[in-house]
Structure 1
Amino acid sequence: MNEKNLEVKINENDIVPAQVIKVNNKTITLKTEDNEIITVDRPKSTIKDKLFLKTMIDILRSGIWIPVNKKLKQLLRYDWFDSLEEYQFL
């Protein structure tokens, strides 16, 4: 397989704001503006991060909206003020 086949195309319609509605050790459940429920796996890069779950719980309590890729079911490291090419997933 060449690299072009491995690339995942990011459609900007797949990036949506969502509110965290449930947090546990393995998954984060979010609700979009259209009331769609999305469950994402906890990013592997955060397994040893002691502040990640505390931060997710703070986000849940505050009710703020965070960017999520609903197609790939991934949280974004940065918000949508950055250009689409600069999005990085956790």
Structure 2
Amino acid sequence: MNTTNNIVPAQVIALKKQQVILKTETNEVITVAAPKGKNKHKIFMLTMTDLLRSGLWIPVNRVLHQLMRYDWFDTQIINYSF
């Protein structure tokens, strides 16, 4: 099975209490569950709200229904060098 096509760019198009709804370039709709835990959930949903407003494309695994964890999501700002 070729997993390269499973990672696709998607935009956040809607937010629900425990879910993020994304749309791929081919208009496939993917639902991702928000993380459990009050602090993680709050920060995650604030980030998703910003992505919804900005329209940025983010990597998502269309089969596993998970956001890909790359530097854009995991690295703290103090770890970046400009």
Q: How many residues align?
A: 70
Say whether residues 1:63 and 2:55 are aligned partners. Answer: yes
C-alpha displacement at 1:25, in angstroms?
2.4
Percent identity at matched positions? 56
3-state SS of the aligned residue for 1:21? strand
Say whether residues 1:14 and 2:13 are aligned partners. Answer: no
| Partner Cα distance (1:23, 1:68) in 2 | 16
Structure 1 counterpart of 2:39:
48
| Partner Cα distance (1:13, 1:43) in 2 | 25
| Partner Cα distance (1:10, 1:51) in 2 | 33
Give the partner amino acid of 1:13. Answer: N
C-alpha displacement at 1:42, in angstroms?
1.1
Give the aligned CA root-mean-square deviation in angstroms.
2.0
**Runs of 5+ in structure 1 lacking a partner?**
1-8, 80-90
Give the partner amino acid of 1:25. Answer: K
Query: Greater share of helix residues, 1 or 2?
Result: 2
Which of residues 13, 16, 33 in structure 2 aligns to 1:24?
Answer: 16
Structure 1 counterpart of 2:64:
72
TM-score of the superposed pair, with normalisation by structure 1: 0.69
TM-score of the superposed pair, with normalisation by structure 2: 0.75
